Structure formats: C-alpha cells, structure tokens
Chains A and B, each alone.
Chain A
Amino acid sequence: MKKSTNDQDFMYDGSTMKVVSFACIIIVLAVIFTGSISYFITRNAVVDKLKSRDLIYIIESAAAKIDGRIARAQETSLLLARDPVVNDWVLSGEQNEQLGKYAKYKLTDMVNSHDYVNSFIVSAVTGNYWDEEGRILQRVSPQNDMDSWFYETLKSNKAVSLNIDYNSGRDNTYVFLNALIGDLKHPLGIAGIGLSLADIAKEFTAYKFGESSALWLVDSKGKIHLADRVEQNGKYLNDFLPAAVAKQIITDTNSQQTQTQILEYVNAAGETVDLAYKATQSTDWKVVFQINRSESIAILKTIKINTAIASLIAVLMITLVFYLVSRRIADPFKRALLLTRKMEQQVKERTSELAESNKEIMDSIEYARLLQKSILPNSEELKDILGDYFLLWRPRDIVGGDFFWVKRVSKEKSLVAIVDCTGHGVPGAFMTMAVNTALKHIVEQNHTDPARILSELNLQMKQILHRNRQDSFGDDGLDIAICAIEGHSLLNFAGAKLSLYVRRGQEIHTIAGDHKSIGYKASPEALTFTTHSWDIEAGDQFYLITDGYLDQNGGEKNYSFGKKRFIAEILARKEEISRQGGQFESVLQNYMADEPQRDDITLLGFSIR
C-alpha cells in the first residue's frame, strides 16, 4: 500500500511537470522563432538603409564638401584674374604704383579674409611671381622645370585650371586654382589661389562614424591624399583594401560622375565591410568611405540583447503562470486521490474488522459443528443398526437443521430416523439439539412405535417451542422419517412430510409419510400418524431423504432435482448400498453445477442384512 501511494505521488508530479515542461519548450521555441524573425527583418532593414541611404549620404556630402570648396576657390581665382585693375597692372608690367597697391592688397586679402593658404599673380609679361604678401617670390623661367606648370597653363586656353601639388616636406597636398588673366588666347599671366587639403581634413573627421570607419580622398593612382586619420595620408588604397577592391575603385573611370558606387567585401579578419565611393566633380579624385558591417548594425546588438532579456522574462513568467495554473488544475485531482486513499484505508480497516468478527463467528460456528456432530451417531453405531449403509449429510452451512438418529432399543429392535428442522445454520442446529433430546426422552418412555413416537414428538416440541410464543410470528417445527427395524424381517415406518423409498429389484416403492408437520403452532396437539409396515426381503434397499436433495435447483432450466429424478437415480445404482453415497453426491453435484446449495441435505441408504 505504501508503495502504491508513492507511485501515485510520482505519477501525479511527473505528469504535471511533463505538461509544464512541454508548454515551456513550446513557448521558448515560439519566442526564439519570432525573436529571430524580427531580428533578421530589422537587420535587413538596417543594412538596406545603410547601403541605400547612409553610405550614399556620407559619401555625397563628403564629395560635395570637397567639390564645393574647390568650386568656391575656382570662383575666387576667376574673380582675381578678371579684376580689371589686376589686368591693367599686369599689362603695365607691374609699373603702375597705384594699380600695384590695389593688386597687392587683393592678394593679401585673399589669404587674410578667406581661408586660403596662398594667393598669387604670375605675369607673363615680366615673369614675376607675386605672392600673398605682395612680394615677388621668384621669377619664372621656361628653362626651370619647376615652372613648367605656368607655361602649360598659359597654353591651355582654359579660364581656370586645377593643379594639385603634394608637398612631402610639409606632408600636405595643395590644390592650386589657376585662372588666366586677360584674353584666353593671349593671356597676360595667371592669377590664382591655393588651398590646403588639411583644412578639409578637419571636416573629414566629422565623418568618423565608428572605430572601423574610414573616409579617404584618393587620386587616380589610388594614393590617399586625405584621410580622416592623418597618419594614413600619403598611403595607398592597396594598403587598406584587398587588391581587387582597390583596383576596382581606381580603375572605375567610366562610372557616372555623379553616381555613388556601393560594394561590400570580406576583409582579412573575416568581417563584412560595406564600402562606398564616388568621383568628385571638380577633380578626378574619388571619395571612399568604408565601415564594418558589425559596427553599422551595432544598434542591433542592443536590440538582440533586449529581445533576449524580454524573451527570458516572458518565458520565466509564463513558466510560473503555467506552474501555478497546473497546480490549481491538479489540486482537485490530488484531493480526489487523497480522498480515495483515505476511503480505501477506511474500507480496509472495516474489512479487517469485519474479517475479525467474521472469524470469531466462524470459529464459534466451527465449534458448534463439533457439538452438533457429537449428538450424531458414529459409523460403528450406524453399521451395527443398519448393516450396510451410506450416509450423505451435507449441511448448507457449517451446521444445519438436518440430522440423523439411531437407537438400539433391544437386541432385536432398533430405531433410525432422519430429521429436517426448519431453518438451517445455527438456528437449525439449535433445533436439532432439542429434537435429539426429545427423541431420547420419548424412547426412554418405552415408545417404540414410529407413529406413536411422532405424536409424542409433536407434543413435546410444541411444548418446548411455543410455551411463551403465542403472539409471536416465529413458528418452528420439523419434518421427520422414522423406521423401527425388528430383526431382519420387519420394518415399520412413519413419516411427517418425509417418505421412505424402498428398492426391491427394479421397483421402487414410495411409502409416503403423513402430510403433517411436527411442532408448528398450526400443528394440532393431538396429531396422529400412520405406521406403515414393510416385510423385509433379502436385497431390499431403503432410502430416507430430506427435501434438501430433492429441492436442489440446477440442470438446464434450473428446476428442482425432484422425486422422479431421484427415483431414477436409485434404479440406476448397480453397486452395493455401502458404495452408493459417492454416486448420489456426484450426481447432485453435476446437477447443481455452480448453483449454491439451497438447503441442508441428508440422504441415508441402508440394506438390513
């Protein structure tokens, strides 16, 4: 019992936890699934935005800065070159003081008032190179290679031309904008301004987007003129990018000047890098910007962590809710189990109580059986009086209301009777004790005629049973068959509702007893019976039987065994009488099969020698 209790607990807990675990796993999977989907959607959106908008914006605004700067410088140099005073001054061979003063002021003003590094006027007439401080810095000469830019520009016929000069000494790149003075076909000289890319570099640092981001201004050879990191100035794209990527950027000359190109590559560290480049409008330089994918979508990391935390909290809470709910659901079940167990325990206790009291009763009845048996004649007495005989005595319960009785009256005379008292079990057994005593008493009074014995028995039993029971419903009595055997020749029989069956050869003689019961309230006190005499011949077999055998139900239709069947069975016996008991018993057993025994059974067969 203890073990099965534990089993039930185990089963109860196991199934609850199973349900909770299963639900949690489903929820975790669902959260992970939706979280992953939203993460990938967001990431794709972020990357898409990065490529289609952010990179383009950065590159275009960087390029526009550079272009704008150069365009302004272009305007400025043109203004200087087209100034009529400057024209006249140069034409005068820089002799006119008045004009010169103005022109020099202009040069100085360019640098002081505007953010240019230098300004200059070079005259083709005199070859003088005037600088921003209004002094002659040098005199150009066609023989000097360093001055070749001047002569080439004069011949270019272009109003403004751009010259880039990288000064490794200063580690700086200068952009010079050279405007022709006077007629484009026959220019008087060149006026212009120079601007330092270092100025623009300050603005480049504004495009610092992250640790890994880089913004470069590269020339047509891939040399980096400007980087958001100063130390990268003067290096080459090849130093920072895979060769194929660098080459693509450098050689991309036919791409539309205004179009920003986007590409991505995987660097040596295995990281995805997004890169954008665009040619500037004013020069053949390109602006290149790159940033590691991981950095540009770094914001997603936060989203990822937040989602994970939110999912975890959701899972924990749902688990908790599930656990509580399942406890609530399981509780009535558990209570029912406990109740059942309690009830089982009670039933067990009561069953054992019942078993105990039943055992007591049974012990007592078993003892009553011993008592009842003690009044019954033993086999030697029976054999002495009846000669060859068999006896079937089967109380329905352990004790019963049936009993048999013999009495040797004299050497030549003896009595044999079978009695069926009303009731069976213990009440029946009580009756048998009383009847036994009464019979003994009657015989002691020297009554030996069967009919007379029955009359006396009726009287005595009525006295014993109904002395104080006039008003009560209880009504007890008995049926009896009694024979007085005289020597080996005569048998006198009297019966109260029981009969004597005699087999002679293949004939059965049924000697019916009187149709009167003994000892009942309804039985008159002066009840008389009939004695039937039978002359015994050798081979006669006598059978006394109570109604238990004849009334036993069974067979196909569950009818009583009946007298006809009984008579047929007597005739069917071939063996001597002493061996017929087992036969009659097995015949009855076959007939009743699984039906319970209805009544006490007594069958006594004998043949007097």
Chain B
Amino acid sequence: MENLCIEQTKSTPTIQFDVANNKLRIAGQSYPENAFKFYEPIFNWLDQYMAEIDRETVLEIYFHMPYINTSSSKCIMMLLEKMENAYQEGRKVAIQWYYNREDESALECAEEFKEDLLLPFTIVVLDDE
C-alpha cells in the first residue's frame, strides 16, 4: 500500500497518509468547487487501507482545518463516519483535532463533529506563536 500524499492548494488541505507509521494527517482550509471530487480518492484510499491493515493497528488521525465549507464538511463527516464505523468494529482509532486558540469557529466546528462520534476525539488548542 502506498502512502497518500496530496499537496496543499489555496482551497484544499494537504493530505498525508503515512502507511508505515499509521498516521493520517489532514491540514489546511477546504472549500473546493467540487468537494466530492476532491475527497472521493481519499475515501477510496481509506477504505482500502482499513481493509488491509491489521486489526490491532493503532491508527492516529490528525486534523487541523481552520475553514471547512458546507460541502467539504459533509465529506469530512463521511470520513469521520468511516472511522467511527471502524472504531465500532473494534479498531483502535484516535482523532486529534487541532485549532488555534482565537479561532472560535474552528472550535465550534470541531465540537459539532465530535458531538456525533463515540471514538476518542481530542480537541487540542494551539497557542499562536
């Protein structure tokens, strides 16, 4: 299985899915014209990855997304649901969601996502440098 790496653009986040270390990272704003088109390969990759990895593998997922538009947030929700399903099946999945301290919208967004999930979801505040 190959790593999934997508470069950051103005309207799409960077995607760094590291197979060797079982760490997935999504960082950056997300407001592409066609969110489903952007996230579809990510869903596919994740499905394949989940199918291939050992059940005991501890999967760490990092989010740091200051802005997610409505359609992107639907996609992120779908992504989180895939992880939630994996967690419900007994996989070891943990999410860490970062936001900048003063960015209350990002915090609200994180809290909204967390609301519907049972898997370990930690919201981590980042202090501005």
A residues touching B (Cβ–Cβ < 8 Å)?
420, 422-423, 425, 473-477, 479, 515, 517, 520, 522, 547, 550-551, 553, 557-564, 598-599
Contact = CB atoms under 8 A, between A and B. Distances in A.
B105 A420 contact: no
Interface in B68-119: 69-71, 74, 77-78, 100, 102-106, 108, 112, 115
Given A474-B36, A475-B36, A559 B102 contact: yes
Contacts of A550: 105
A512 B74 CA distance: 20
A249 B128 CA distance: 115
A599 B69 contact: yes
B106 A560 contact: yes
Nearest to A550: B105
A598 B74 contact: no
A515 B69 contact: no
A550 B31 CA distance: 15
Given A475-B36, A551-B67, A557-B100, A599 B77 contact: no
B13 interface: no
Contacts of A557: 100, 102-103, 128
Which 6 pairs of residues, A with B, have the shortest CB-CB distance?
A560-B105, A559-B103, A473-B36, A562-B105, A562-B104, A422-B71
Contact of B67 (A475, A522, A598): A598
Given A420-B70, A559-B66, A599 B105 contact: no
Interface in B45-75: 66-67, 69-71, 74
A564 B107 CA distance: 12
A559 B100 contact: yes
Contacts of A599: 31, 69-70
B66 to A, nearest CB: 7
Contacts of A520: 74
Contacts of B105: 550-551, 559-563
Given A475-B36, A553-B67, A422 B103 contact: no
Contacts of B77: 522
A522 B73 CA distance: 13
Contacts of A422: 70-71, 74
B40 interface: yes
B64 to A, nearest CB: 13
Contacts of B112: 515
A316 B40 CA distance: 74
23 contacts: A422-B70, A422-B71, A422-B74, A425-B33, A474-B36, A477-B74, A479-B70, A515-B112, A520-B74, A522-B74, A522-B77, A551-B67, A551-B69, A551-B105, A553-B67, A560-B66, A560-B103, A561-B105, A562-B105, A598-B31, A599-B31, A599-B69, A599-B70
A294 to B, nearest CB: 89
Contacts of B36: 473-475
A598 B69 contact: yes
B120 to A, nearest CB: 21
Interface residues of B, number: 23
Contacts of A517: 74
A473 B102 contact: no
B117 to A, nearest CB: 13
Which one of A515, A547, A559 has the greatest number of beta carbons of chain B within 10 Å?
A559
Contact of A475 (B29, B31, B74, B115): B74
Contacts of A522: 74, 77-78
A592 to B, nearest CB: 13
Contacts of A477: 74
A515 B66 contact: no
Nearest to B39: A473
A380 B115 CA distance: 42
A561 B104 CA distance: 9
A423 B71 contact: yes
Contacts of B74: 422, 475, 477, 517, 520, 522
A473 B104 contact: no
Nearest to A477: B74
Given A522-B74, A599-B31, 6 more contacts: A475-B36, A522-B77, A522-B78, A551-B105, A560-B106, A561-B105
Contacts of B71: 422-423, 475-476
Contacts of B31: 598-599
B67 A473 contact: no
A560 B69 CA distance: 11
Contacts of B78: 522
A551 B100 CA distance: 15
Nearest to B31: A598
Which one of B33, B69, B70, B102 has the greatest number of beta carbons of chain A within 10 Å?
B70
A563 B70 contact: no
Contacts of B102: 557, 559
Contacts of B100: 557, 559
A515 B115 CA distance: 10
Contacts of A561: 105
A563 B70 CA distance: 17
B123 to A, nearest CB: 16
Given A422-B74, A598-B31, A599-B31, A560 B67 contact: yes
A556 B76 CA distance: 27
Given A423-B71, A559-B66, A473 B103 contact: no
A563 B105 CA distance: 7
Contacts of A598: 31, 67, 69
A495 to B, nearest CB: 14
